[in-house]
Amino acid sequence: MCGRLSQYTGIHDFVAALSIPNALVSSAGDLPLDRYNGAPSQQFALFHQEDDVLHADMVPWGWRPAWAKDRAAPINARVEKVAHGPFYRSIWPNRAITPINNWFEWVDEGGPKKQPYLIRRRDLAPVLCASIGQFPTGGRDPSQYDGFVIITADSAGGMVDIHDRRPVVLTPELSREWLDPATPKERAEQIVLHQGEPAEAFEWFKVDRAIGNVRNQGPELIRPIADLLP
């Protein structure tokens, strides 16, 4: 999974997609997030749950433990290793959902530059990505060490032609179970290992190469190339 996401609708649209009745505590604001071309280290709205309360905070994409000072902060965690490897041991219990509208991948089609593709749900519902991280809990203020990673798995079906890895996307029902602090760690591991949404739930199409410049923003970046032709 490459490092570009879109998160442009408002936080309450994402809450509605979760269909979660819990009370909401949000520091993400009520306005549309308007991030069409989001990149690592930038802040994204992230959901986590404490007791029966859903929290939405703006958290940087990317995290590394304090002892791993000599490496860049990873943005993704492989589902095959995340529950048992030492790197993510301290944050594996800190389950979260990154709600996005779509993500992007670049494909080598033989031209001078790789072609970007947008990937989204066929039903156009928000994409609920299983994540873990370090983020404000218990009422504490944000920290410079906060961050999150998105859990990824091998691609399947036609999506393999776009990229060999994909985010683990959960249904609203499984997202609620994943977020619930009462869900045992063993059950959480089984959810992300075996119950992510299949490739058939998604569609993808070519978009303008302007998405390659992180300074570019706006709804034109998420339109199919054919829609941009005069």
**Active-site residue 129, yes or no?**
no
DSSP 67-129: T-TTSPPPSEEETTTTTTSSTTTTTTT-EEEEEESEEEEEE--SSSSPEEEEEEETT-PPEEE
Distances (CA, A) of 218 to 37, 116, 212: 8, 16, 13
Tokens of 78: 């492989």
Tokens, residue 91: 């944050």
Candidate list 2, 177, 189, 197, residue with the active-site label: 2
Helix (H, G, I), strand (E, B) or coil at 222: helix
Task: Please list the active-site residues.
Answer: 2, 105
